[in-house]
A and B are shown apart, each in its own frame.
Chain A
Amino acid sequence: MFGELVGLLFTSMIVNNVVLAQFLGMCPFMGVSRKRSSAVGMGMAVVFVIVAAALVTYGLHYLVLVPLGLDYMDLITFILVIASLVQLTEMFIKKTSPGLYKSLGVYLPLITTNCVVLNVCLVNITNGYDFPHMLMYSIGTPLGFALVLVIFSTIRERLDLSDVPEFFKGNPIALVCAAIMAMAFSAFSGVI
């Protein structure tokens, strides 16, 4: 049981990485990866929002929607819950901790329409995870996202200094780098 949970954590983090294997969260992956400091901030904000959103949506689905026979409303419920949660978190941090707001505040509003969050909430339900599995999946996925984002931002810092073919400048060359990273990460599938 314990081994299986740890396995799920690492599978969702590295082998089935959200960005490189499932192509989710490409917007922040391309947009917020210019500097390492912003990549770290974004990564932390995503971890926080996903864990919170997964807990709330999981609870709502099994305690409210299923007993009322409304489980076909998953999608619209989840998107509203995520959006509200981001607003609530931002407001809470603004009021209580200016220091935390300084490092995370800018990235929180970016997360409302981040597909990683919605995907984790939906997959928790469609895969029928029980509570411990749900927790492991919801922690592993954003950690994998943060890991790849930080690695990618360090690559892009170097990329700015290198000589790139004219039409590949900007996003296309970044995607080529992502392809090579995906190749490297796919090698992990034999390990775990």
Chain B
Amino acid sequence: MALVYGILFLGALVGIYIFLYIQNKKTPVPKGCENLKADCEGCKITSCSLRDKKLKEEK
């Protein structure tokens, strides 16, 4: 029984995460903050959502 709860629980968490991820991407950035830049050269955190923008700029 615990296994079923475990799978359900995990599924719910993954669902919540993906839902929030998509919702967050849809939410527009407030006015005046469109071109914010973090001064973070050298940071290797690849899941950072700023990285896509940065990579595009570099190209």
Question: Are A and B direct contacts in the complex by CB distance below 8 Å?
Answer: yes
Q: Which A residues form the contact surface with B (CB < 8 A)? A: 27-28, 30-32, 34-35, 38, 64, 68-70, 73, 76-77, 80-81, 83-84, 87-88, 90-91, 94-95, 98, 101-102, 105-107, 109-110, 112-114, 170-171
Once bound together, how far apart are the Cα atoms of A113 and B40, in whole Å?
A: 15
Contact B38 A110 (CB under 8 A): yes
- Counting chain B residues whose Cβ lies within 8 A of the other chain, the interface size class is 35 or more
How many A-B contacts are there with CB distance less than 8 Å? 109
Once bound together, how far apart are the Cα atoms of A90 and B45, in whole Å?
A: 17
Contact B13 A77 (CB under 8 A): yes
Contact A94 B20 (CB under 8 A): no
- Cβ contacts A to B, 17 pairs, < 8 Å: A28-B40, A30-B42, A31-B40, A31-B43, A68-B6, A73-B9, A77-B10, A80-B14, A87-B17, A87-B24, A91-B20, A91-B24, A94-B28, A95-B27, A102-B33, A102-B36, A109-B50
Once bound together, how far apart are the Cα atoms of A84 and B41, in whole Å?
A: 25
